[in-house]
Amino acid sequence: MGTQISLRHLRCFAAVARTGSFTVAAQQLFKTQSSLTATIKQLEDIAGVQLFDRTTRRVELTKDAVWFQEVAERIIRDFDNAVADLQATARSEHGNIKISVVPSMMPHILAPALEAFRKSYPDVKISVRDEGSEKTERAVLEGTTDFGLSSPLNHFADLDYRPVLADPFGAVFPKDHPLASHKGDLTWADLRDHNYVALTKDTGIGALIRHFPDLEPKHRGTEVDYASSTTSLYALLKLGDRITVLPSLAAHTGQMAEFEFRELHEPKIEREVCIITRHMRSSSPTTRRVLEILMKTIRETKPVHGVRILDTAFT
């Protein structure tokens, strides 16, 4: 049987493709340049196709090899993740857990769950990344985090999204705003004559609202202000005479909690909060323990205004 393409070939190919340099790739891989060159030549011979165009300044992928970079990176990532999971099993309770979470999940859901987890497993090291939906999904996809807690944004095929909470949208405004004296249910139509601050579409909240363009408030048809996070959103609302729309958990997190929150009706819209994991990838024992405690915490914690527990979280 002839020589087969191995993980060694893929690591060398990916390093050269990523850096555009045999010299830099060899340094990153702790190989001699001649050894790396020979490995790439062997890969090209086995594949029967030239993978790189060499110039005096840079090494570039040929048009026949561009698509193969993504495949090679995914195979390497999946292999490394599988080995990491295997090692986590061997370490049992003395492992590491890496979690990515959107800010609104931190105080209401994740913090009490981690407090309970630490009491039972004090030797496990916990790393938490506090970031938006886009980065949370990509961290899980790339294997740099064990699971994420976020609303879905990209719906990647390689990820599993397990709904745990339904988080209703509402209007957020200063306590002295005219909407504070509104009687009865507040509807989306009631917002249209007020200065509106929107979240950008690269945020999970902003993207979800844009699924309902007929509902998104517009101030008399003029352009609206935009914020890229709840931090900048807070700053804009502090200017006064402005409103925004947020799900309940986000509206009751940090500085945003100083504003008034009124759930919106006609229609009632909710975002799904999901536990996000890698598709067809077994979770380590440590990850499974954290998830068990997380869902127990969700079940037993008094929900924030209007938030519903989804039955599918506990099947």
* Domains, the chain, ordered by start: 7-80 (1.10.10.10), 83-160+279-298 (3.40.190.10), 165-270 (3.40.190.10)
- pTM of the shown model: 0.67
Q: Which pair of structure tokens corresponds to residue 263?
A: 């759930």
- The mean pLDDT of 243-254, rounded to a whole number, is 92
pLDDT of res. 2 = 61
Q: Which are the contacts of 93, defined by CB distance < 8 A and separation ≥ 6?
A: 121, 123, 124, 286
Give the residue among 58, 14, 18 at the shortest CA–CA distance from 39. 14
pLDDT of res. 276 = 94
Q: Which residue has the higher pLDDT, 229 or 263?
A: 263
Q: Tokens 């079940």 — which residue?
A: 299
Q: Which pair of structure tokens corresponds to residue 2?
A: 């002839």
Q: Tokens 């165009």 — which residue?
A: 53
Q: Which residue has the higher pLDDT, 280 or 175?
A: 175
Q: Which are the contacts of 284, defined by CB distance < 8 A and separation ≥ 6?
A: 84, 85, 88, 89, 95, 146
pLDDT, tens digit, 9 for 90 and up, residues 106-149: 888 899 999 999 888 888 889 999 888 889 999 999 889 999 99
